[in-house]
């Protein structure tokens, strides 16, 4: 199972700043992932609350998730508590941003979370979620040393 985790204001995708974030809704991004990775089980959770996101990160750990695709929204730039949660769990977390945070205001240039994530994908729109899923679904192959399909 891969957890698709989205933080504050991402429930507004489709209408919020479509110049930056595009016209796709969160539901359509999740649907696209499920279609493209039909063999993978996904769970999706969005919250505007830091604590609810932390609880879900812990739950992904206890559920033995394969990984977490995480767009933390503005908490990227502020949350020590989310950083500690990511650092505490075993499943790899990929940080994803629809917009290129490095091409925006300087307060978005710093991610408190990136150092405890396996990687960061930023600026590629919904395709970033696809690339993260592609990476996470391949990890077991690398770990077991089996050749790539
Ligand atoms: C975002 C970038 C953040 O800086 C911003 O606060 C968001 C969305 C993105 O997907 O580009 O809410 O995470």
Summarize pLDDT for 97-114 with one digit per residue, the tens.
Answer: 999 999 999 999 999 999
For 10-51, write each residue's pLDDT tens digit.
999 999 898 999 899 999 999 999 999 999 999 999 999 999
Angle at 101 between CA 17 and CA 22, to 5 degrees: 30
User: Is 0.85 surpassed by the pTM of this model?
Assistant: yes
Q: Which residues form ligand 1's pocket by a CB distance below 6 Å?
A: 9, 71, 73-74, 76, 97-99, 101, 108
Best residue for ligand 1 mutational test, from 71, 77, 123 (most atoms within 8 Å of Cβ): 71
Angle at 114 between CA 85 and CA 60, to 5 degrees: 35
Residues in Cβ contact with 92 at an 8 Å cutoff, skipping those fewer than 6 apart: 67, 68, 117, 118, 136, 139
- Return d(Cα 132, Cα 145) in angstroms, integer: 20
127-144 vs 26-36: helix crossing angle, rounded to 10: 40
Q: Which domains does the chain show, CATH number per domain? A: 2-138 (3.40.50.9100)
Known catalytic residue at 61: no
Known catalytic residue at 97: yes
* Nearest atom of ligand 1 to the alpha carbon of 72: 13
The CB density around residue 87, as the number of other CB atoms within 10 Å, is 12
């Amino acid at each position: 199972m891969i957890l698709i985790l989205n933080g504050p204001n991402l429930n507004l995708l489709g209408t919020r700043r479509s110049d930056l974030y595009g016209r796709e809704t969160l539901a359509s991004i999740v649907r696209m992932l499920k279609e493209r990775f039909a063999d993978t089980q996904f769970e999706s959770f969005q919250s505007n609350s830091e604590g609810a996101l932390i609880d879900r990160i812990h739950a992904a750990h206890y559920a033995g998730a394969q990984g977490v695709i995480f767009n933390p929204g503005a908490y990227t730039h502020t949350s020590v508590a989310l950083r500690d949660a990511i650092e505490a769990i075993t499943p790899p977390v990929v940080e994803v941003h629809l917009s290129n945070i490095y091409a925006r205001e300087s307060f978005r240039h710093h991610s408190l979370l990136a150092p405890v994530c396996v990687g960061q994908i930023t600026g590629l729109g919904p395709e970033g979620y696809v690339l993260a899923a592609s990476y996470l679904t391949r990890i077991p192959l690398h770990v077991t040393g089996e050749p790539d399909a």
